[in-house]
Structure 1
Amino acid sequence: MTTADNILSAPTLSPRQRSPSAAVSATAYAPWWTGLAAGLAWGVLAVLTGTWPNKPLGFSEWAYTTEFAWFAGLVAVALLTLSLAPGRIAAVPAKLRAAGPWLIAVALGLAVWEVFTAKLGTLPPPFFAPPQSLAEVYITDWRRLLESGAHSLQLLGLGIGIGASVGFLVGVLMGWSRRASYWVHPVLRVLGPLPTTALLPISFYFFPSSWSTAIFLIAVGTAFPVAILTASGVASVNKNYYDVARTMGASPWFLVLRVAIPAALPQVFVGLFMGLGHAFATLVVAEMLGVKAGLGWYLTWAQGWAAYPNMYAALLVMALLFSGLISLLFLVRDRVLSWQKGIVKW
């Protein structure tokens, strides 16, 4: 075959195959279409909020409407800049790009909320308030909200810490000892399904203050699921693990601390996750009925004064706080169970 034949039979390369740098450049200049749509959605929210007059309330005007419109406009400009600026798409963090659909959904949700409250008044005030009313609460009453959140975190920390520790120890004892399981397991089966808030009147009698009562109830709500699932995890450990450890001269304490507990940790974290849900519900009820501080108390105070924007603002803070604690639990689980990566799916 001649040289000319070799040249004619050579495969044709695309522009990207001929120049890798050109392919990278083309990718870098590609628009971020989801971000573009999100920027347009936030722009619509800004125009809608700033140009459509609010429906008269008869007693006052919704404050911070202009500021909310400017905030939405700034978010729109930032997203459009990231979406269209040459060479900037490579600098967009992966998490931000993954959150693109949520950015669109949040903007559209806020727009619908704004229309049916401030603009049309379909959802009547003061029971329903527009988004800018929450901004007013965070700007004017941030100190009380911060103090309430700190009190709730302190109650949760003490209650969950005590309940998780006691539940873990009881669960290990039940899973390891058949005699302990014989006596303790029926008690947990009878008392565990009871709502912890049902114990509130009795707890007020035995504990000297509403603060200690709240800690006790949160601890009880956390301890039961942790104990049950820890016991299940310890009892279901493969017996071959114990046999191998015994052949190497392991003591009973070694079997408990280095074999049973590590193997049961996935179940322990499931119990902690369930215990957090019980603790959140108990916290709110305890603060509403007895404790004179915290987010639950703030909700009761806002409802008593018909300050519904304050109530919604506190609910949002509560949701973010509880979600953050659950996310923190997931981070701890991933760190502690890194040696079981790929096995734990929840």
Structure 2
Amino acid sequence: MSDNINRQILLVEKPAGKLGSEHFKMRHGTIPEPRDGEALLRVRYISLDAANRAWMHGATYRAAVEANTVMAGGGIAEVIASKAPELARGDIVFGDTGWQDYAAVPAKHLTKMPKIEPMTYLLSVYGIAGLTAYFGLLDIGKPKVGETVVVSAAAGSVGSIVGQIARIKGCRVVGIAGGKDKCDWLTSELGFDAAVDYKDGAVFKALKAAAPNGIDVYFDNVGGEVLEACLGQMNVRGRIACCGAISQYDGIPSGSGPRGVPGLIVVKRLIMQGFIVTDYMERRHEALRDLQSWVTSGALKVQEDVIAGLENTPRALIGLLAGENRGKRMISV
């Protein structure tokens, strides 16, 4: 990274089908000057998330990413100059830095972070991934001791933490993931009671065997056919936390699943709720207290997938959408 050049990765074209490296290009620009109320940031780590792909479709909980603009993305960054009284040089912050070396961002859009080592934990277990898992499971799922909790994309950044928190809370935990290696890792390393490989097909049947007493809480990261398979096995007064729908993000959705939702929700008196982690930011300290305690005690294992080099960000996101990662994937800039 040069001291006077700002490398930026642009989304040059919105993909109609699957995301490819041809949809991005690198541009060399100048380092921005912060205006009043802004801080100049040097980006240290960029978060890679399935939501990055959803932003290309259109407005979600944030504005759509438009063609020929710097690709949006959350990051951990260091303040190198500040024109905002609440931030000083050397502070560590989280914000929408975009895929670039440097960014000038209004201080009101930044969250000052504690100085924790390794810094990567601020994006994984103590960042959006950990907070999403914590509040989605505990606030919406409300698991009770002895209940069965199922989580999809269980080897990913959020799912791997959801399953471990459910175990800490005394639940039987079943993970759904892609491939035997991931499923074996969930049960042997992270303490899941069972794992279902969706790539084998017959998810409904495999889930029935893994959760013979039905499902009390389902944490949904994928939507589609997996959501349909879980809905059919929910217990009366079950809870479904809807976090994402990665099966629908990249390319043209298949249109299959979930069917029969209204009838199942009524008959089984299910609660199905979507959420966005930013809704809970005022309570983040309560989550961090618990998460830090569990990590320190060894009850919660942290798995990260750190890829070096800003130039590798497009490939790393494409790989994440294909399910390459275990745990939280991020770029070290």
TM-score w.r.t. length of structure 2: 0.24
Structure (1 or 2) with the greater helix fraction: 1
Structure (1 or 2) with the greater strand fraction: 2
Larger Rg: 1
TM-score w.r.t. length of structure 1: 0.23
